[in-house]
């Protein structure tokens, strides 16, 4: 492996200015290689969301640098970062964030529309993604007609339909019961294993973190521990 | 990219069908109001012009008596005056002296109050009358003062109930008079029924009905394409000389130029049309503000959604374009429906108030351009606001 997929170097993030300044990250070094499944844990206010926003190219660090496939993200413009998200990243949010009154199929198609994919190919890809998450036959249902687990599966289909390099999941099981949570986690594991998608997931549930291959603990804006989990057979 | 924006915008409109329809309604009403006002206004203007030209084209009406000087003795014209005008002034098509009087016409057991006018052969030409049935007076009838008459459509209807009238004798002032012709209807002009009239030879009128040689009006028809102003000046001077009016005295007659009346009245209706159009344009502006309002609400309401779009890789300008296209689709759709509505209602209104339906393509083009402009102008501000949202803040928005 020539260079790591993701590399954070002495990264800090400060919100606000002067006396009201709040340091969310105080010098984080983190390297993530292609094919990893990393769980980021930590109490609230530990900086895990901040790090997630930066990894997702939604935000830029105050100091230090973030290299994505060797590209220094800090130096990119807002539009360049949007293009980076469009072509390399997939997002799964805690609140699903599906478009209401819009069919599952159209929701999954959305990132492909921004990629400018022709209609026919777009339909095929979106149906295939829905099939992968086990929602064949639910294409025309709007989010209101789907259960929470199904909604999250639509959201996951939307994230993987573009075949991203990295899938970022922010508390993907936060709004689900334990059975649904396990379904979602097994799905993520399968993507990591079978499709080789690098997954970075924020969670505060140790059970869910167990599915990952590596767990990074954040406390007070610093990495407290970085351990590999025992792999299940 | 435009195609993508259009696709996304159309999906968005479909998602909020009722709201989109209500927003569009503002534009529909605005555009329709402007076009209806202008179209009906043009119809009214045309109708006024039509009524005036039914009096006679390029016509000067010269009446004895000063302007507003009622009560003072009116010095009438004579046939000599008319002759002098036709001999001394060039570019005239017809000079028609006439005299008239209110009277009652009787036929069988019916009677009808109407106006009886004594005319010469030039009158029919000067005043644009057309004989619908029967014939004009013969030269010998005019010369000899025969008791023949040509009746207007209203008189025909009232006395004869639209039955055969030619050759019948009607009584005017206890004089028996043969109907030789019926005039084709001209309709109303300025609230007066032009068809309520009976024409007889001027000589018969003077001798048998008025008992004098007076001429109360001279209608002068000027050749087509020749300025009436000049003829009016010359005629005025000529009549002043003939009536011995000193340089500092006012005229004791007045000349009415139908062209002047046309200009004044159509000018008035045109001003009214633009005024109403301007008022209607305000409602269009209100419609545009309605679009901006809805788009702003929509941006706030859809903050999370915009955050999602930005997170999955929408560019700022793509979000901007989506909202802009959405506003433009709404306003252009409103414009189109407004035009359809306006054309249909204008046709109906024109029918009801009996004015010609004149569709001005210019105002339709202006309406199209304006509705597109409304979309751009009032859509831009909300669209920019959406595009500049911070994706992290937007995603966190409840």
Three-state SS sequence of chain B: CHHHHHHHHHHHHHHCHHHHHHHHHHHHHHHHHHHHHHHHHHHHHHHHHHHHHHHCCCEEEEEECCCCCCCCCCCCECHHHHHHHHHHCCCEEEEEEEEEEEEEEEECCEEEEEEEEEECHHHHHHCCCCEEEECCCCHHHHHHCCCEEEECHHHHHHHHCCCCCCCCEEEECCEEEEEEEEECCCCEECCEECCCEEEEEHHHHHHHHHCCCCECEEEEEECCCCCHHHHHHHHHHHHHHHCCCCCCCCCCEEEEEHHHHHHHHHHHHHHHHHHHHHHHHHHHHHHHHHHHHHHHHHHHHCHHHHHHHHHCCCCHHHHHHHHHHHHHHHHHHHHHHHHHHHHHHHHHHHHHHCCCCCCCHHHHHHHHHHHHHHHHHHHHHHHHHHHCCCHHHHHHCC
In this predicted structure, the answer to whether residue B148 has a pLDDT above a threshold of 70 is yes
Least Cα separation, residue A101 to chain B (angstroms) = 6
Q: What is the pLDDT of residue B13?
A: 87
Judge if B241 and B287 occupy the same domain: no
Residue whose pair of structure tokens reads 């929602």 in the numeric block: A135
Q: Which residues pair with A217 in a beta bridge?
A: A41, A225
Average pLDDT over all residues of chain A: 91
CB A144 within 8 A of CB A101: yes
Least Cα separation, residue B287 to chain A (angstroms) = 26
Confidence category of residue B57, pLDDT binned at 50, 70, 90: low
Angle between helices B258-301 and B361-387 (to 10 degrees): 20
CB contact under 8 A, A102 and B304: no
Q: What is the pLDDT of residue B7?
A: 85
Q: How many percent of chain A have pLDDT more than 90?
A: 77
Residue whose pair of structure tokens reads 């019948």 in the numeric block: B168
- Total number of domains constituting chain B: 2
In a domain, A1, yes or no: no
Report the pLDDT averaged over residues B114-130.
Answer: 89
Judge if B105 and B233 occupy the same domain: yes
Q: How many percent of chain B have pLDDT more than 70?
A: 97
Average pLDDT over all residues of chain B: 87
Confidence category of residue B308, pLDDT binned at 50, 70, 90: very high
3-state secondary structure B57-70: CCEEEEEECCCCCC
Distance CA A167, CA A125 (A): 17
From the CA atom positions of chain B, what is the Rg in Å? Answer: 33
Residue whose pair of structure tokens reads 């294993």 in the numeric block: A193
Q: Which of B229, B251, B273 is the last residue of a domain?
A: B251
In a domain, B61, yes or no: no
Q: What is the pLDDT of residue A144?
A: 93
- Residue A19 DSSP code: G
Distance CA B66, CA B86 (A): 23
Judge if B23 and B96 occupy the same domain: no
All residues at 6 or more sequence positions from B79 whose CB lies less than 8 Å from its CB, including other chains: B97, B202, B213, B215
- Total number of domains constituting chain A: 1
CB B210 within 8 A of CB B79: no
In this predicted structure, the answer to whether residue A71 has a pLDDT above a threshold of 80 is yes
Say which of B307, B316, B391 has its CB closest to residue A79. B316
Handedness of CA A93, A96, A99, A104 (dihedral sign): positive
Contacts of A56 in chain B (CB under 8 A): 311
Q: What is the pLDDT of residue B363?
A: 87
Judge if B281 and B349 occupy the same domain: yes
Least Cα separation, residue B269 to chain A (angstroms) = 51
In this predicted structure, the answer to whether residue A111 has a pLDDT above a threshold of 90 is yes
Q: Is A89 on the interface with B (CB under 8 A)?
A: yes
Say which of B4, B311, B392 has its CB closest to residue A113. B4
CB contact under 8 A, A113 and B7: yes
Report the pLDDT averaged over residues A42-52.
Answer: 90
Report the pLDDT averaged over residues B21-31.
Answer: 90
Residues spanned by the domain of A165 = 6-228
In a domain, B258, yes or no: no
Least Cα separation, residue B21 to chain A (angstroms) = 17
Contacts of B317 in chain A (CB under 8 A): 79
CB contact under 8 A, A85 and B304: no
Cα nearest neighbour of B392 on chain A:
A58
In this predicted structure, the answer to whether residue B220 has a pLDDT above a threshold of 70 is yes
Q: Which of B251, B281, B301 is the last residue of a domain?
A: B251
Least Cα separation, residue B26 to chain A (angstroms) = 25
Contacts of A95 in chain B (CB under 8 A): 304
Residues spanned by the domain of B44 = 2-51+263-396
Least Cα separation, residue A53 to chain B (angstroms) = 7
pLDDT tens-digit series, residues A132-157 = 999 999 999 999 999 988 999 999 99
Q: What is the pLDDT of residue B117?
A: 93
Judge if B129 and B245 occupy the same domain: yes
Say which of A85, A99, A102 has its CB closest to residue B313. A85
Structure tokens at A116: 């400018």
Distance CA A37, CA A53 (A): 17
CB contact under 8 A, B313 and A115: yes
CB contact under 8 A, A91 and B312: yes
Cα nearest neighbour of B322 on chain A:
A114
Q: Find the chain B residues whose C-beta atoms sit closer than 8 A to any C-beta of A.
A: 1, 4, 7-8, 11, 15-16, 304-305, 307-318, 391-392, 395
For chain A positions 54-83, those within 8 Å of chain B (CB to CB) are: 56, 58-59, 78-79, 82-83
pLDDT tens-digit series, residues A166-199 = 999 999 988 888 998 999 999 999 999 999 999 9
Residue whose pair of structure tokens reads 């979000």 in the numeric block: B319
Cα nearest neighbour of B312 on chain A:
A86
Judge if B35 and B106 occupy the same domain: no
In this predicted structure, the answer to whether residue B97 has a pLDDT above a threshold of 90 is yes
CB contact under 8 A, B11 and A58: no
Q: Which residues pair with B218 in a beta bridge?
A: B62, B97
In this predicted structure, the answer to whether residue B235 has a pLDDT above a threshold of 70 is yes
In this predicted structure, the answer to whether residue B31 has a pLDDT above a threshold of 80 is yes
Angle among Cα B10, B314, B19 to the nearest 5 degrees reads 30
In this predicted structure, the answer to whether residue B73 has a pLDDT above a threshold of 70 is no
All residues at 6 or more sequence positions from B396 whose CB lies less than 8 Å from its CB, including other chains: B307
Structure tokens at B150: 């040509």
Helix or strand (DSSP H, E) at A8: strand A6-15
In a domain, A126, yes or no: yes
Say which of B314, B317, B392 has its CB closest to residue A58. B392
CB contact under 8 A, B316 and A53: no
Q: What is the pLDDT of residue B65?
A: 76
Contacts of A57 in chain B (CB under 8 A): none
Distance CA A49, CA A56 (A): 10
Question: CB-hemisphere CA count at 13 Å for B109?
Answer: 0
Report the pLDDT averaged over residues B325-348.
Answer: 92
Judge if B81 and B201 occupy the same domain: yes
Contacts of A87 in chain B (CB under 8 A): 313
- Residue A144 DSSP code: G
Structure tokens at B189: 């002009």
Contacts of A113 in chain B (CB under 8 A): 4, 7-8
In this predicted structure, the answer to whether residue A68 has a pLDDT above a threshold of 70 is yes
Say which of B1, B304, B311 has its CB closest to residue A58. B311
Report the pLDDT averaged over residues B166-187.
Answer: 89
Report the pLDDT averaged over residues B382-396.
Answer: 90
Q: What is the pLDDT of residue A81?
A: 94
Helix or strand (DSSP H, E) at A41: strand A37-41
In a domain, B285, yes or no: yes
- Residue A192 DSSP code: I
CB contact under 8 A, A53 and B310: no
In a domain, B64, yes or no: no
Distance CA B337, CA B343 (A): 10
In a domain, B70, yes or no: no
CB contact under 8 A, B312 and A56: no
Judge if B147 and B237 occupy the same domain: yes
Report the pLDDT averaged over residues A98-120.
Answer: 92
Could you give the 3-state DSSP secondary structure of residue A189? helix
Distance CA A69, CA A48 (A): 21
Judge if B164 and B240 occupy the same domain: yes
Contacts of A91 in chain B (CB under 8 A): 311-312
Judge if B162 and B199 occupy the same domain: yes
Contacts of A78 in chain B (CB under 8 A): 316
Residue whose pair of structure tokens reads 């997170």 in the numeric block: B311
Confidence category of residue A86, pLDDT binned at 50, 70, 90: very high
Distance CA A34, CA A55 (A): 14
Q: What is the pLDDT of residue A232?
A: 56
Contacts of B7 in chain A (CB under 8 A): 113
Q: What is the pLDDT of residue A17?
A: 84
In this predicted structure, the answer to whether residue A233 has a pLDDT above a threshold of 50 is no
In a domain, B135, yes or no: yes
Judge if B246 and B277 occupy the same domain: no
In this predicted structure, the answer to whether residue A125 has a pLDDT above a threshold of 70 is yes
Judge if B316 and B197 occupy the same domain: no
Q: What is the pLDDT of residue B252?
A: 83
Contacts of A101 in chain B (CB under 8 A): 15-16
Q: Which of B214, B230, B251 is the last residue of a domain?
A: B251
For chain A positions 154-213, those within 8 Å of chain B (CB to CB) are: 158
Report the pLDDT averaged over residues B299-308.
Answer: 90
Report the pLDDT averaged over residues B22-31.
Answer: 90
In a domain, A124, yes or no: yes
Report the pLDDT averaged over residues A60-67.
Answer: 92
Q: What is the CATH number of the domain that holds A43?
A: 3.40.50.300
């Amino acid at each position: 492996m020539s260079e790591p997929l993701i590399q954070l170097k002495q990264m800090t993030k400060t919100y606000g200015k002067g006396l009201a300044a709040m340091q969310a990250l105080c010098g984080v070094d983190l390297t993530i290689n292609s094919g990893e499944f990393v769980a980021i844990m930590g109490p609230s206010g530990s900086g895990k969301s901040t790090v997630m926003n930066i990894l997702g190219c939604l935000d830029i660090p105050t100091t230090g640098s973030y290299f994505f496939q060797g590209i220094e993200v800090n130096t990119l413009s807002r539009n360049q970062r949007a293009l980076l998200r469009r072509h390399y990243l997939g997002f799964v949010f805690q609140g699903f964030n599906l478009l209401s009154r819009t069919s599952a199929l159209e929701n999954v198609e959305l990132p492909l529309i921004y990629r400018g994919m022709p209609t026919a190919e777009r339909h095929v890809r979106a149906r295939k993604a829905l099939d992968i998450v086990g929602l064949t036959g639910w294409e025309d249902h709007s989010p209101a007609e789907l259960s929470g687990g199904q909604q999250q599966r639509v959201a996951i289909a939307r994230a993987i339909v573009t075949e991203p390099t990295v899938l970022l999941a922010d508390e993907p099981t936060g709004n689900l019961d334990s059975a649904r949570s396990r379904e979602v986690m097994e799905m993520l594991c399968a993507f990591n294993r079978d499709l080789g998608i690098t997954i970075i997931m924020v969670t505060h549930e140790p059970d869910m973190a167990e599915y990952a291959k590596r767990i990074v603990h954040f406390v007070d804006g610093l990495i407290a521990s970085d351990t590999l989990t025992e792999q299940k057979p | 990219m435009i195609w993508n924006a259009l696709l996304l915008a159309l999906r968005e409109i479909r998602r909020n069908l009722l709201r989109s329809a209500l927003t569009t309604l503002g534009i529909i009403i605005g555009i329709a109001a402007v076009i209806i006002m202008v179209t009906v206004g043009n119809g009214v203007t045309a109708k006024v012009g039509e009524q005036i030209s039914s009096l006679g084209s390029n016509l000067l009406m010269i009446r004895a008596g000063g302007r507003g000087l009622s009560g003072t003795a009116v010095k009438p014209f004579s046939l000599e005056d008319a002759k002098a005008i036709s001999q001394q002034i060039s570019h005239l098509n017809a000079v028609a002296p006439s005299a008239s009087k209110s009277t009652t016409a009787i036929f069988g057991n019916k009677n009808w109050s109407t106006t009886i006018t004594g005319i010469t052969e030039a009158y029919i030409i000067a005043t644009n009358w057309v004989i619908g049935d029967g014939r004009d007076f013969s030269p010998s009838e005019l010369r000899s003062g025969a008791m023949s008459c040509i009746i207007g459509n209203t008189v025909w209807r009232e006395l004869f109930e639209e039955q055969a009238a030619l050759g019948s004798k009607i009584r005017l002032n206890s004089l028996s008079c043969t109907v030789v012709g019926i005039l084709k209807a001209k309709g109303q002009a300025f609230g007066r029924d032009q068809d309520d009239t009976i024409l007889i030879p001027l000589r018969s009128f003077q001798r048998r009905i008025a008992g004098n040689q007076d001429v109360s009006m001279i209608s002068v028809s000027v050749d087509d394409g020749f300025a009436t102003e000049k003829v009016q000046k010359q005629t005025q001077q000529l009549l002043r000389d003939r009536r011995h009016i000193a340089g500092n005295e006012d005229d004791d007659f007045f000349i009415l130029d139908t062209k002047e009346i046309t200009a004044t009245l159509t000018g008035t209706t045109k001003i009214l049309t633009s005024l109403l159009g301007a008022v209607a344009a305000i409602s269009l502006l209100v419609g545009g503000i309605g679009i901006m309002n809805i788009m702003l609400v929509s941006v706030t309401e859809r903050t999370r959604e915009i955050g999602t779009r930005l997170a999955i890789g929408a560019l700022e300008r793509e979000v901007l374009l989506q909202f802009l296209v959405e506003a433009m689709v709404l306003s252009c759709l409103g414009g189109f429906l407004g035009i359809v509505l306006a054309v249909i209602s204008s046709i109906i209104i024109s029918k009801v108030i009996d004015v010609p339906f004149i569709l001005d393509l210019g105002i339709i083009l202006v309406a199209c351009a304006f509705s597109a402009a409304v979309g751009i102008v009032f859509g831009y501000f909300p669209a920019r606001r959406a595009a500049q949202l911070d994706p992290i803040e937007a995603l966190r928005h409840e």
